[in-house]
Structures are given as C-alpha cells and as structure tokens.
C-alpha cells in the first residue's frame, strides 16, 4: 500500500482531490517502479489538480508531471534497484499517472539518471520549470547571446526564477520582469541586475521597433508582452518562447525579424529526446548555484497540493515548490 493524491470526478462532474492509501497493483503498466522521494508543482500541475483543463484523459487520476526517487523494481537493463532517477514530461501526470504519490510505474524510456551532484529534492526544485529554463538558455547560447541585459519575463515564477539564476551564474546581466514589486529583493538575490515592472511591457507598442535593449530573452509570458519585447531586441538577438502565462496570442509584426534579424525560438520540454535531456540536466548540475536554488524552495506535502494548484494558476507561487511525498 502507498499514499497518493487522487483526483476524481464524481457523477455530477465535480472534481475532488484528496490523499488516499491505495494498493500497488493499481499502478499502471510499465517496466520500472520508482519509490518517489519528491515531486513539485508546475503550471500544468495546477490545471491537472483541478478539472484537468483537457489534459487529463481518465479518472481517477494521479497528477504530478515531475518526480525524483529511487528505482525499486526494473525489467529494463538500463536501470537497477537503488538507481536514482528523475522524470519530467512525456505527458506523465497528465495522460498517465504521475508523481503525486509514494510510488510510480513508468516506461524506462522516460527516465533520466539523476546527475551527480543533485539530490532528488534539488532535482525537484528544478523540475520541468527549471529544465525548460535550461533548454531556453542553451537555445539562446546556440544562437548567440548579444551584448546588453538578457530579459526574463514571469521572473518570480518557476521558469523565470531558474532562468534568472542560471543566466546570472553564467555571467550575463539579467533584467527580471515581474508583476510583483515585493519580489524585487528575491530576484536580486537570484542574481538579477535590474527589475522591470510588468506594467512597462504589458501593452503592445504602436511602433513595431523601439530602442534596442535586450541581448536575449527567456519569455514565460507570451501574449502582448512577447510582442512588445520582439521590437526591443538588439540586432540579431533571440527570444526563447517558453510559456503563455500572459496569453497564447501573439499580436506582433514581422518587422523585428526582417529589419533586426531577431530570432524567435520555440522551447518544448515534454517530448525532448533522452540525449538532450541528459545534456540539459548535466548543465544544470554544473551551472545552477545550489544556494540560489535553495532560496527558491517552498516546501510542501501531498495534502498541500489542492491549495498550491489553485495558487500557481493565480500566479501566487514564488519560485519552486518541492513536495515531500513521504
Ligand atoms: P509560474 O506560475 O511559476 O510562473 C509564471 C509567472 O508568469 C508568474 O509567476 C508571474 O510572474 C508571470 N505571470 C503570471 N500571469 C501573468 C500575466 N497575466 N501577465 C504577465 N505575467 C504573468 O509558472 P511556470 O514558471 O511553471 O511556467 C511558466 C509558463 O511556462 C507557463 O505558461 C507554463 O505553461 C509554461 N511552461 C512551458 C514549458 C514548455 O515545455 N514549453 C515547460 C514548463 C512551463 P511575476 O509574478 O514575476 O510577474
């Protein structure tokens, strides 16, 4: 038997979430069983803790798109009992049972060995949000980060916090955009060199090009802010588009692409192949300062999750939640 946070839909369509003790034989099919140590809360988890927002396929459901722990049983030659592993993405926690439980059974293809130097707790402080931030920074590096501050939007959120700490540790000046003025000290402690008020970038400009300001951008917000930022990029600079916290539309013109050679780079963390994941996790273990990661952590347990799900959808979570499932 083990504890799991089960989300279920009752006959009148109401979604309820609660911790239940369930039998191991209720785990889905898979060739590796993992004893989970920690999970986390990403924006998508907020959706799956409620009605699912179209992501959840069957009920009852165990959400949790990320987990880290120790292999308990393995029918796959790549993993043996006692190996420490991390899982993010692959629609685990959405279309399949995920990490809000003390055990998970999954396909070995979805796992990554925990990189040396990271504990399961630290790996979950990173989670999908942090892995995505790393993938975004690597995409910017591949295309060349130009002079001038690198802009991070949605900076006090999960992706933004890790992107800010990573970019600062790599020696880039970081301009952190936030709608929460009270988060300014937190963002400076992560290494931001300036804080930009969300309101300054909230509306599209009437001019397709403004003064060149940013040497790169990790954008977790999308919408009007992304459109505005495109017109402020330095010549040849790139924006890594990661999220849609502010909207999925893009009310922009193509002028920044044509006259300034600006690049818009799409970042997906869910279906990344194994080798790319391993490379990103190795970079995280090497480049992310662990004291700054520690400063982002909000500790939680399984029973806190329904509240935290609502909080992340409302933009009230600062940094990264780490859920101790035991
Ligand atoms: P968080 O909720 O932790 O962070 C989002 C941040 O965006 C908030 O903290 C807030 O930052 C800012 N924000 C919220 N609402 C608005 C708004 N209306 N306008 C402008 N800014 C806003 O979420 P995550 O960091 O986990 O995820 C960020 C985005 O990235 C989400 O859209 C998520 O779906 C996406 N994502 C995509 C992935 C991929 O593979 N492409 C993987 C992971 C996440 P502040 O308070 O500082 O203003």
Angle formed at CA 325 by CA 323 and CA 326, multiple of 5 degrees: 135
CB–CB of 253/226 below 8 Å? Answer: no
pLDDT value at residue 205: 86
Q: Give residue 238 CA to ligand 1 midpoint distance, Å.
A: 19
pLDDT value at residue 10: 87
Q: Is the CB of 132 under 6 A from ligand 1?
A: yes
CB–CB of 99/84 below 8 Å? Answer: no
Query: 300: which 2 tokens?
Result: 């939680």
Q: Is the CB of 167 under 6 A from ligand 1?
A: no
Q: Give residue 163 CA to ligand 1 midpoint distance, Å.
A: 12
161 Cα nearest atom in ligand 1:
25
Q: How far is CA 2 from the centre of its chain?
A: 27
Query: 297: which 2 tokens?
Result: 């952590």
pLDDT value at residue 51: 82
Q: Is the CB of 131 under 6 A from ligand 1?
A: no
pLDDT value at residue 204: 85
Q: Is the CB of 158 under 6 A from ligand 1?
A: yes
Q: Is the CB of 221 under 6 A from ligand 1?
A: yes
pLDDT value at residue 50: 87
DSSP state of 269: -
Residue nearest to atom 39 of ligand 1 (CA): 268
pLDDT value at residue 206: 86
Q: Tell me yes or no: is domain 2-114+293-324 CATH 3.90.1170.50.
A: no
pLDDT value at residue 53: 78
pLDDT value at residue 252: 96
Q: Is the CB of 42 under 6 A from ligand 1?
A: yes
pLDDT value at residue 159: 96
pLDDT value at residue 299: 97
Low-confidence stretches of the chain (pLDDT < 50) are none
| The CATH fold of domain 128-266 | Rossmann fold (3.40.50)
Domain boundaries, the chain: 2-114+293-324, 128-266
Exposed (0-12), middle (13-18) or buried (19+): which is 294, by Cβ within 10 Å?
A: exposed
pLDDT value at residue 12: 86
Q: Is the CB of 192 under 6 A from ligand 1?
A: no
User: If DSSP codes are grouped into helix, strand and coil, which group holds residue 248?
Assistant: coil
CB–CB of 221/244 below 8 Å? Answer: yes
């Amino acid at each position: 038997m083990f504890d799991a946070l089960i989300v279920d839909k009752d006959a009148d369509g109401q979604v309820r979430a609660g911790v239940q003790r369930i039998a191991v034989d209720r785990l889905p099919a898979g060739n590796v069983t993992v004893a989970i140590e920690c999970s986390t809360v990403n924006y998508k988890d907020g959706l799956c803790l409620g009605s699912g927002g179209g992501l959840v396929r069957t009920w009852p459901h165990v959400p949790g798109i990320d987990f880290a722990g120790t292999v308990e049983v393995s029918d796959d030659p790549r993993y043996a009992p006692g190996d420490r592993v991390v899982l993010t993405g692959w629609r685990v926690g959405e279309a399949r049972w995920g990490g809000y439980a003390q055990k998970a059974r999954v396909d070995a293809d979805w796992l990554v060995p925990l990189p040396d130097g990271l504990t399961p707790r630290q790996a979950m402080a990173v989670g999908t949000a942090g892995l995505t931030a790393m993938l975004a920074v690597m995409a910017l590096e591949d295309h060349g980060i130009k002079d001038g501050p690198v802009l991070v939007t949605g900076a006090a959120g999960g992706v933004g916090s890790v992107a800010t700490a990573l970019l600062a540790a790599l020696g880039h000046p970081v301009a952190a955009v936030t709608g929460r003025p009270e988060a300014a000290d937190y963002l400076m402690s992560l290494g931001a060199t300036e804080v930009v008020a969300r309101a300054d970038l909230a509306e599209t400009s009437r001019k397709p090009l403004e003064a060149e300001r940013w040497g790169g951008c990790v954008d977790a917000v999308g919408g009007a802010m992304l459109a505005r930022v495109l017109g402020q990029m330095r010549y040849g600079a790139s924006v890594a588009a990661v999220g849609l916290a502010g909207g999925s539309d893009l009310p922009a013109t193509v002028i920044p692409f044509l006259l300034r050679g600006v690049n818009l780079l799409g970042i997906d963390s869910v279906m990344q192949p194994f080798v790319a994941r391993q490379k990103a996790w190795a970079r995280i273990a090497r480049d992310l300062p662990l004291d700054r990661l520690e400063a982002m952590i909000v500790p939680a347990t399984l029973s806190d999750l329904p509240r935290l799900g609502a909080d992340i959808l409302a933009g009230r979570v600062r940094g990264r939640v780490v859920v101790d499932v035991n």
